[in-house]
Structure 1
Amino acid sequence: MLQVNYIRENKDEVIARLSKKSFKQLDLVDKVIDLDNKRRATQAQLDNMLSQSNAMAKSIGELMRDGKKDEVEKIKQKTSLIKEDIKTLGEELSELEQHVHNSLVLLPNLAHSSVPAGVTPEENEVVLTHGDVPKLPEHALPHWELAAKYDIIDFELGVKISGAGFPVYKGKGAKLQRALINFFLDNAAKAGYDEVQPPIVINEASGFGTGQLPDKEGQMYFIGEDNLYLVPTAEVPVTNIYRDEIVKEDQLPIKNTAYTPCFRREAGSYGAHVRGLNRLHQFDKVEIVQIAHPEKSYEILEEMSEYVQTLLKKLELPYRVLRLCGGDMSFASALTYDMEVFSAAQGRWLEVSSVSNFETFQANRLKLRFKGNEGKAQLAHTLNGSALALPRIVASLLENNQTEKGIKIPEALVPYTGFEYID
């Protein structure tokens, strides 16, 4: 959530940076400022009334000591009227504060200055490309056919049990899933991330804190009777560990990693691009989260991007890094890098990670602050990234590594799988 004072003091800049994200409701900026002006005026009136009330209370005591009962009664009558005004102003102030809040939560985060202009994924900026695209045999198979051939993933069985988008992993397919999760968690530990195992359901306050609510409620699975949501990503519960917390400056950066299954309704998704593992309602992901000092967060974002790239290199997957254009960024992000791997049999790039800096946007919602030696509390910066999401990694591993002998497992993963080939 943006801060009102920043909006007031930097209105033109705010509008320009919101426009870069293709945000259309720019009139909300003026609305927030107008509402805040009314809130300030009401607060000033209330403060004045409270000051008068305090002064009268003090004068009543003095008059009582002097025995001036008639004057005391007159002041008490005025005090009674002022108390009514104070009550009315207090109610007006609360209502205005709620209106300001309700308008603020509709404003997305501001795009960082380095974010390229654009609306569609085609306008994202390719930062770098690594590795060679594998040359497959003429009759190479896409991953969904390989999954059936080697009996490692059963999409139809998932439909029977739950519905489309809920695959069943079998045999070496299940072991590959577990191997990748452990591989990612072990690498995160070596990189200094502390592992946590959070709940996979969240309450409304947690969804609000990281910006999923009220923006993405239609994409999350809702448990109505308990007013809870299934997690769309471990980012939400892990970041919310620090909701309403003041941490010490020397604790920064705080680094956490977590594995969770993730649940997304993916409403409106259809077509060939969502076939097989390309888009699921339930999938596994290892997430990395950092709480950072504002002066260090963009340096940390680059480090997180490089860390994700080391994982892709170890898995021997060709990849590219994109800096997302304003119109393709999430509601809460100030700057996002997407990592995509090349899926050889499909002949297309598949997103496997997004690494984002949210600056103070989430921290303001979370009331997450840090305090230095001088004792002043200020908002921290939050960052997170997929490290990594499994489905498209698995799709690319299967397609890119298919041989006559079977599907070759990358060398770094063999100690985790216990086998060199899926055959």
Structure 2
Amino acid sequence: MRHGTYGTQRIARGCALLLAPALALTACGDSSDPLAAKPYDAAGHVAVSAGGKDTRTVDADEPLEVTATGDDGRITDVIVTDTAGRHVRGELTDDGTRWRSTAPLVAGIRYSVRVSTENDNGRPGRSTVTFETRTPPRNRQLSVELGPEPGTYGVGQPITAELGRAVREPVQRRIVERALRVRSTPEVTGSWHWVDDKKLHYRPKEYWPAHTSITVESRLTGVRVRENLYGGEAAPLKLRTGDRVEALADAAALRMTVKRNGEVVNTFPITTGKEGFRTRNGTKVILGRQPFVRMRSTSIGIGPGSADFYDLPVHWAARLTWSGEYVHAAPWSVGSQGYANVSHGCTGMSTGDARWFYENVRPGDLVTHVNTEGTAMPAFGNGFGDWNLSWDEWRAGSALHAAAAGPAKPEKTAGAEQPARSQKPGEPVEPRLRPAV
């Protein structure tokens, strides 16, 4: 068996070609001057079949074959491409009688098969055959939902891809990941990371540059992931980043410093989580903003009669975790802001400072807490803690890079986290973010 599609040998005059399971070709030709002669038509007749039926629509599960029949024809080259420009790999036998695909076809797409032959005088023959592969039913399609929704975000915003079915095997994950394309202007170095069997996140090595245009698309449509499962269609996604906005909340100094594009634009006193309710340490991405949230301690099991009971109207809230960490106005603790940590896990500030923060941030902006004495912000499961993994740890979660990076060690921060008692929850916010206005 010879790998590839090329080869040249002379054999007896005339040829007949069969393309199976789909395609049958026959033709004959002769010339006293084979090098000057026009290539003869190697497609006397063409038949496309699937399941034994003569048709031009075939099942993508079937291997593609091109066969020269009889003793008077030889295949020298086969080139198979689809309408997206993808080539199908194949092998040509040493005697040139048969070519067979070694890679699966894409479902629901048109293919062009260009076959080259030659006769005993060296005269070339040519034929082009087209056929289509069937679109699989929806119950055999792997859906892909790209996120967040189109809009403008902060430079810390990860890109997400949610799959309709679990994908566990490394080879299948590589197929999926290779088909998810992220392009940006300016260009950045980035990678996908498998959060679990149905979810991937993409982030650059460093934060996105300010004012970056980002395009995300899935080229998985019709691609065979595993037996009886093909990629489904997914709408492309376009995003932009705004200014680089970063807030550093120091629980020891009890101050927050906000930078825009590297320049300090504001500082103000804060309070963070008290003992038993410590705020998480680490970098968090703003998930959304709400001008008003009703926060109740009963949602975390603290009822009336407890010293820690609360039922408060909260204004100018920027959400950091799904379990309930916010940056928000806390007029009831103004006397402690800058002096003591007295909250149930949120970052509190005066109403004026909170409104300024609310109006100057958007989803995707970054808030980093230090010196809180709390647990570490998890990478996944309670918001976007993606930036708490090093670049090597991040790449180890990519199916395409894992082999080069070595086996990834389990990360304690990578698992989903249940709402913690140390966080003050508010009303739920939809995980699908909407762009800031």
- TM tier relative to shorter chain: under 0.3
If asked which structure has higher relative contact order (CA below 8 Å, sep 6+), I would say 1
Structure number with the higher strand fraction is 2
Larger helix fraction of residues? 1
When Rg is computed on C-alpha atoms for both structures, the one with the higher figure is 2
